[in-house]
Structure 1
Amino acid sequence: MTTSGSSTPDLKSAQKSKSKKDYSIYFQPPSLKEAKKRGKEEVTVHYNFSIPEDMEGIGRGKRYLVRTYGCQMNEHDSETISGILEQMGYAPAKDETEADIILFNTCAIRENAEDKVFGELGHMKRMKYNNPNLILGVCGCMSQEESVVNKILKSYQHVDLIFGTHNIHRLPHLLRDALFSKEMVVEVWSKEGDIIENMPKLREGSIKAWVNIMYGCDKFCTYCIVPYTRGKERSRRPDDVIAEVRELARQGFKEITLLGQNVNAYGKDFEDITYGFGDLLDDLRKIDIPRIRFTTSHPRDFDDHLIEVLAKGGNLVEQIHLPVQSGSTEVLKKMARKYSREHYLELVRKIKAAIPHAALTTDIIVGFPGETEEQFEETLSLVEEVGYDSAYTFIYSPREGTPAAVMEDNVPHEVKKQRLQRLMDLQNRISLEKNLALQGEVVELLVEGESKTNPDVLSGRTRTGKLVHFAGDKSLIGQFVHVRITEAKTWTLHGEIVTKVGV
């Protein structure tokens, strides 16, 4: 790894001299061949994270802004980034105009996410010109792509700092170089990093929290850039996860969501113990925290033991996100999902038999290269058969460096848009039917806050993740209440509070 830059005692003059930047980079492009060779390198767990002495308090009187794009993992990474910055003395900025540091924590899943970031970086150029002391940085999954880094180096030279997903713990060191150097600081590790415990986190609110249980993905679906941007699968030690959840319970959090690119693969990289995701959930369900969720699952690793543990219920809620991506076995094979339509439907049957009230949600891609009308109709029939409560649906977006990006794509864009609309129409009908079935029922809600559209209305979620609006006193925020559903819409429910209130 190489970090460019040399320190100087005169921060102000160093900042103003950044009119033309030099840089040095440690970076390797995504390679399917090289990435699949990984797995033999030892991953070390470090417990001694600390802020370097010369960076302690350097942010006192200054403010930071982190803009986050993408998934819950990115959101959680931003909590860590914010926690590190606050340990260095920085305070959060209300907006970009009062920020001394602006970091873009980026997503690489779809092209439009990258386009948004580049658009924002373009808007930052004038702000950087007017305020040369502003530190502007790009981190997250986009930073792990060679083409992205090259584009920033060529067209966005007002950026001061680029780092990736594996070296967030290096932020104090990289920021020091960005503050005192004439050069653009670029540190991107192609090899996934070790596991760094005890990094500070600035969690949003005190009701719900995310907990990483593992990092990376080894599935190599042909359309997905994540195995390259997030690296190989590395599981946190069970004792570390359990200790974090216990501490969150002690702090009064009511719900946690366990995070991983593929949580079902948790523990498969352990060499000294036999301990999987089902074992972890079985231990966590004994902790006094009311609700535990997880995301995301891969059908290939969703085993019978996991189903058995989830069926025990308690604080393990009945919501399961189970991405299918396509209902066609032929398309699934081209995607390298390594399961068939029949295998997926059998898994759904097992889950529903063990957990009758389970709410299933999913991800679906339409317009994958070569998808025929018949194959798309197989997706529609699978959606009908499973009866998802909701689905995240997308038109296929090619990602440079993945095998699917070089596949022949003979599906016209207009056809892809039509297919997406047909899929959304079907799912909307099913979602509404599911919600209508709840009218008159009494459900348990965790009250999360005021409605985004009406401050006089509160909103909360059921155990199955459904959003419910109801009139109630703001003192109920953070509490459990029971609400009778009075009106059902496609995406939301409305209700009225009943007398029974839980803590």
Structure 2
Amino acid sequence: MKIYFESYGCTLSKSESALYVNGMMKDGDTIVQSPEDADISVIGTCVVIKHTEEKMLNRIDHLSTKSNVKVLGCLPTVTGKQISSDSIEMITPGEMRSFYTGKLDDIEIKEPSIFDGIPINQGCTGSCNYCISRIARGKLLSRKPEKIVSQVRLQLERGIREVRISSLDTAAYGKDLGTDLPSLVNAIISIDEDFMVRVGMMEPKNTMTILDPLIDSMKNAKVFKFLHVPVQSGDDRILELMNREYCAEDFVTIKSRFRESFPDSTLSTDIISGYHGEDMESFENTVRIIEKTRPDIINITRFSPRPYTPDFNKRTPHTNLVKRWTKVYTEMHREILSDKLSSIVGKVENIIITEKGKNGTWVGRDQAYRSVVVTGEQRLYSKVDAEIVDTGSTYLVGKVL
């Protein structure tokens, strides 16, 4: 069977979709690069905002004209029944949770080219008023640590040396099992192999409860000094409306402790612009928290009311106002990132080559998980020293020594 595969959205969606495809492959099956060549297309979907959902629906419709389609991810929960047909099969949330508790643990990585990390838990412990992902994913369901470690070993056996663990909230991992994320990271890095680990997104509330042991586990040389913690707003009133269950100062504490422990590191965060109830004061508070913490990466999303959430019918600020706020956040992000990248020019970074780039280049990652583009003949997952000679808009340019 010829399978075409593509996936969208968060790292969790991409990792579990890729593993699902690996699990459905039988001897003789192949991955093809075009839906026109496929017997079946598999798509991992995202519905975090309305525009993305519409993009998914259009893409599924297009794929269904070429072959039968399996739809994974968050879309089946939201609009699955509306678009199911003889040629479109929705993999339901119940099926995916069964996948987590059964087949996922024993999947062999048959096609490394589409492998995109290891999911460690489904669902989350939060109850954010705007979030459709928690509705689509359900309550927290963590995989057993020994099963995850076993899958990491299988990944390493296939020669994949970048271990990415992901979920809606990695900091929630193990709360339903009596364990935690730092313990899992410690178990992974205890494997006697040469590899690097990237820990996926974690919510501030749960991060605060594991901050000390998390920092200790991240001190290991095998762990990228990268932290993705979404603040969403710098205003406590808005955070309360969102039902985020933390305050802005918690985010500042996490950032400060992380940067104290790892001065050369990458801090990534998310901001929702135009949330209902937002005004100039809340906007200015968010600007202040950006100035105070200076995240290297800021993912900016305009608030998009989603069905089935408490915020669906809430009145949002005027579009022109939201555009101005978003523009300010974007300009701040560019300035912060440009300053950070420029400060590294002239330094020598040890990088692990993680993928082929464009026009004969290779892309590596330094200890802070920054992208470093290099030229010349390189070997995937090899580690090299590179002098940083220039910057792009979001990456470094290196010369291999």
TM above 0.5: yes
Residue 439 (str. 1) matches residue 370 (str. 2) = no
Aligned length: 397
Tell me the distance in 2 between the aligned counterparts of 1:390 and 1:365. Answer: 14
Instruction: Give the residue type in structure 1 aligned to 2:386.
Output: V
Shift of 1:366: 0.5
Query: What is residue 461 of structure 1 aligned with on the other side?
Result: 365
Secondary structure at 2:25's aligned position in 1? helix
Residue 74 (str. 1) matches residue 2 (str. 2) = no
CA RMSD of aligned residues (A): 2.3
Tell me the distance in 2 between the aligned counterparts of 1:230 and 1:88. Answer: 31
CA separation of 1:93 and 1:290: change in aligned 2, threshold 3 A: closer
Shift of 1:332: 0.8
Residue 64 (str. 1) matches residue 3 (str. 2) = yes
Q: How does 1:189-200 map to 2 (within 5 A)?
A: 194-196=101-103, 197-200=105-108
CA separation of 1:377 and 1:202: change in aligned 2, threshold 3 A: farther
Query: What is residue 77 of structure 2 aligned with on the other side?
Result: 144
CA contact (8 A) 1:105 1:139 kept: yes
Query: What is residue 48 of structure 1 aligned with on the other side?
Result: none
Tell me which of 146, 154, 169 is aligned to 1:262: 169
Shift of 1:390: 1.2
Instruction: Give the residue type in structure 1 aligned to 2:92.
Output: G
Shift of 1:484: 0.6
CA separation of 1:168 and 1:101: change in aligned 2, threshold 3 A: farther
Shift of 1:361: 0.7
CA separation of 1:75 and 1:308: change in aligned 2, threshold 3 A: closer
Query: What is residue 451 of structure 1 aligned with on the other side?
Result: 357
Tell me the distance in 2 between the aligned counterparts of 1:318 and 1:300. Answer: 20
Instruction: Give the residue type in structure 2 aligned to 1:464.
Output: A
Shift of 1:102: 2.0
Tell me which of 23, 34, 44 is aligned to 1:105: 44
Residue 297 (str. 1) matches residue 230 (str. 2) = no
**Per-residue displacement from partner, 1:442-487 (whole Å, max 9, x unpaired)?**
00111133322x22x222121212111222214x332111101111
Residue 429 (str. 1) matches residue 335 (str. 2) = yes
Instruction: Give the residue type in structure 2 aligned to 1:432.
Output: S
Please, which runs of 5 or more residues in structure 1 have no aligned partner? 1-61, 129-133, 172-192, 499-503
Residue 310 (str. 1) matches residue 210 (str. 2) = no
Instruction: Give the residue type in structure 2 aligned to 1:198.
Output: D
Q: Which has the larger radius of gyration?
A: 1
Shift of 1:105: 2.2
Tell me which of 175, 178, 185 is aligned to 1:281: 185
Query: What is residue 473 of structure 1 aligned with on the other side?
Result: 377
Shift of 1:73: 1.6
Shift of 1:262: 1.0
Query: What is residue 488 of structure 1 aligned with on the other side?
Result: 391
Secondary structure at 1:87's aligned position in 2? coil
Tell me the distance in 1 between the aligned counterparts of 2:274 and 2:53. Answer: 20
**Per-residue displacement from partner, 1:156-180 (whole Å, max 9, x unpaired)?**
x464422224414989xxxxxxxxx
Instruction: Give the residue type in structure 2 aligned to 1:72.
Output: T
Shift of 1:417: 1.7
Shift of 1:124: 4.7
Query: What is residue 365 of structure 1 aligned with on the other side?
Result: 272
Tell me the distance in 1 between the aligned counterparts of 2:50 and 2:243. Answer: 21
Tell me the distance in 1 between the aligned counterparts of 2:313 and 2:213. Answer: 37
Q: How does 1:361-440 map to 2 (within 5 A)?
A: 361-409=268-316, 411-440=317-346
Tell me the distance in 1 between the aligned counterparts of 2:244 and 2:53. Answer: 25
Shift of 1:437: 0.7
CA contact (8 A) 1:80 1:202 kept: no
Tell me the distance in 1 between the aligned counterparts of 2:343 and 2:377. Answer: 27
Instruction: Give the residue type in structure 1 aligned to 2:106.
Output: N
Query: What is residue 162 of structure 1 aligned with on the other side?
Result: 90
Residue 135 (str. 1) matches residue 41 (str. 2) = no
CA contact (8 A) 2:21 2:42 kept: no
Q: How does 1:15-26 map to 2 (within 5 A)?
A: none
CA separation of 1:168 and 1:235: change in aligned 2, threshold 3 A: closer
**Per-residue displacement from partner, 1:41-92 (whole Å, max 9, x unpaired)?**
xxxxxxxxxxxxxxxxxxxxx3222232212222122222322332275322
CA contact (8 A) 2:239 2:245 kept: yes
**Per-residue displacement from partner, 1:233-273 (whole Å, max 9, x unpaired)?**
11111211222223333443221011111111111102xxx
Tell me the distance in 1 between the aligned counterparts of 2:393 and 2:51. Answer: 26
Secondary structure at 1:465's aligned position in 2? coil
CA separation of 1:105 and 1:458: change in aligned 2, threshold 3 A: closer
Instruction: Give the residue type in structure 2 aligned to 1:118.
Output: L
Residue 497 (str. 1) matches residue 400 (str. 2) = yes
CA contact (8 A) 2:4 2:41 kept: yes
Secondary structure at 1:403's aligned position in 2? coil
CA contact (8 A) 2:294 2:336 kept: yes
Tell me the distance in 2 between the aligned counterparts of 1:204 and 1:397. Answer: 35
CA separation of 1:496 and 1:79: change in aligned 2, threshold 3 A: same
Tell me the distance in 2 between the aligned counterparts of 1:82 and 1:232. Answer: 24
**Per-residue displacement from partner, 1:160-201 (whole Å, max 9, x unpaired)?**
422224414989xxxxxxxxxxxxxxxxxxxxx745421344
Shift of 1:298: 0.8
Please, which runs of 5 or more residues in structure 2 have no aligned partner? none
Instruction: Give the residue type in structure 2 aligned to 1:144.
Output: T
Secondary structure at 2:312's aligned position in 1? helix
Instruction: Give the residue type in structure 2 aligned to 1:151.
Output: Q
Tell me the distance in 1 between the aligned counterparts of 2:244 and 2:234. Answer: 11
Shift of 1:209: 5.3
